[in-house]
Structure 1
Amino acid sequence: GSQSVDMMYSTEGYYLEDDSTTGFIRPYEEGYSFVALLPKEGISMSDYISQMSAEKLVTVIANAGTDYEVDAAIPKFKSEYSVELNDTLKNMGMTDAFDPEKADFSGIGTSDRGNLYIDMVLHKTYIEVDEQGTKAGAATVVGIAEYASLETPVVKTVHLDRPFVYAIIDNETQMPIFLGVSETITQ
């Protein structure tokens, strides 16, 4: 069933759109921005994610326009993501670090019980979005708004009232440092 969720309303200055997406970018202090990507009506989240690529993500962010004022609505949400990174790191070539025979952590220290090696790596990411901004991991970022125009802007409405993809991006590189999906549906 549907659940009711508190929505936060704001006016944003960076509008995103391509053939399958509408969205916006909300700049934060400390060089980061919150990006919301809403699949267009009729596109399911699974279809949207299956055709999402790094290039597509970077392109839609790079093409953000300031020609419109965005009437934005964001649900308050929290997301926790935890994953064991052992296999990921091994696939990236860090195999010796997990091998009790081959691991070399002599630079860190030694143990009289045998060689030091990595037993398990647990990575946990936490994100919370509310009026104060977004807290992601240890970085707390506070929302700021920048928008100035002499003529009356054309308003685009982006209400995140169905599942959407969100990212926290580094403003300099435009690369996501955090990417997630909010499955929250509001009434």
Structure 2
Amino acid sequence: MDILSEGNVTFAITLLKKLCEEKPRNVVFSPPSISFALNMILLGTRTETAAQIAQLLSLNRSGSTFWGFRSLLAEMNTSSTWYLIKTTNKLFGENALNFLASFRDSCFKFCNSVMEDVCFSQETEAVRKHINAWVAEKTEGNISEALPDGLVDPLSLLVFVNAINFKATWERAFDPKHTYIDILKVNQHERTTLQIMKNKEEFLTSPLEELGGQLFIFPYRGMELTMILVFTSDSDLTKLEKGLTYERFITWTKPEAMALMENHDKTFLLPKVKIEETCDLEHVLYSLGMSDAFDEQKADFSGMLILKHLYLSKVLHTSCLEINEEGIKASAATIAAEIPAASKRDEGLKANGFFLFFIWSYKTKSILFCGRVSSP
């Protein structure tokens, strides 16, 4: 596995563990979407601000890394017979500012991203709706409000956006006639109903004794993609989440490890899932070491502008996931902006986890989407 792939998977696992600690119930996100947005930001940062972002992404800040992201973007957008995945980057910048030509050129060269000149100062709401319409188009309408009301104002300067859209069908579709209702224990005080799909499906399975879980792997047609599910016997994923590492995850994807797993072609029960989650990532990224970018005094974005000091004030990630009888659909959008906003955290009762999921691309050696489903 090359350095970029290793860095991306390490970042994905690190962020998953952190979000599982922070969020009380469902967690769903697209690691590449967040990485692409941070890579655009990295192109315009300097000194310690750049070093912290590179370290968070487990990368060195070099031309080879930027070319690696360019290649990853192109490879992810290559069409496939069995599934669809498209990802796009874009910047929206205040037209009254003279962003450096070198920054614009680098964003296009390495991220295939162009900067659209807009007027936050006089047309705030119109620009917000315009950005949301762009994301909605790129996600086939799955994400319509990536930039919520009130998150841009006349002082906004620059918005980085990545959108990603994914669809894949099962090799053997689940028959809706076999779907039935069951009761899930969410926690000690709460129960919820869910729909369970039933199908005869080929899959690999292996016990994870040291983590108290059971691994299920569903290869897609063409073996370009795999869905990995991890269940626990006691419906509490805390031990598994804490024990998850880059090394353990990569082992699950290796052919030699899969060859040792039990191969089944029998009935499998899987819950129908339809969830959408929005994460305020600034405090999470800050706690993971990316602090200077959010500090008005320390942030160094001199690679974007020379005469005006910038700092990052908002990173928002919205993802939706649907697992049904036909297949899987997932979309995500990451927005990073130079806008004043207060960080907020999810509060609530920590739910017993239902399962962890990963959509793994063998072609790009990337986790396309991952998370924890506890309230389908």
Normalising by the smaller structure, the TM-score range is 0.5 to 0.7
Q: Which amino acid aligns with 2:226?
A: S
Distance 1:29 1:75, change over 3 A: farther
The aligned residue for residue 69 of structure 1 is 265
Q: Which amino acid aligns with 2:272?
A: K
Q: Secondary structure at the match of 1:3?
A: strand
Q: Pick the aligned partner of 1:100 from 286, 293, 296.
A: 296
How far has the Cα of 1:78 moved from its partner?
1.8
TM-score (norm 2): 0.36
Deviation larger for 122-131 or 41-50: 41-50
User: Does residue 1:34 correspond to 2:227, yes or no?
Assistant: yes
Distance in structure 2 (CA, Å) of the matches to 1:30 and 1:105:
42
User: Does residue 1:85 correspond to 2:281, yes or no?
Assistant: yes
Alignment length (residue pairs): 160
CA RMSD for the aligned pairs? 3.5
User: Does residue 1:56 correspond to 2:248, yes or no?
Assistant: yes
How far has the Cα of 1:4 moved from its partner?
3.7
Q: Pick the aligned partner of 2:217 from 24, 27, 32.
A: 24
The aligned residue for residue 111 of structure 2 is none
Structure whose residues are more often helix by fraction? 2
**Seq. identity, %:** 24
How far has the Cα of 1:121 moved from its partner?
0.9
- The answer for unaligned runs of 5 or more in structure 1 is 140-161
- The answer for unaligned runs of 5 or more in structure 2 is 1-190, 334-352
TM-score (norm 1): 0.64
How far has the Cα of 1:77 moved from its partner?
0.4
Distance in structure 2 (CA, Å) of the matches to 1:94 and 1:175:
22
Q: Secondary structure at the match of 2:314?
A: coil
Deviation larger for 84-93 or 102-111: 102-111
Q: Which amino acid aligns with 1:95?
A: S
Distance 1:70 1:175, change over 3 A: farther
Q: Which amino acid aligns with 2:279?
A: V
Structure whose residues are more often strand by fraction? 1
- Deviation string 1:33-67 (CA, Å, 9 cap, x unpaired) is 2211222x346333333433333333234322474
Distance in structure 2 (CA, Å) of the matches to 1:94 and 1:51:
24
- Deviation string 1:102-132 (CA, Å, 9 cap, x unpaired) is 4444554588xx5332111112222111133
1:14–1:70 CA contact under 8 A, matched in 2: no
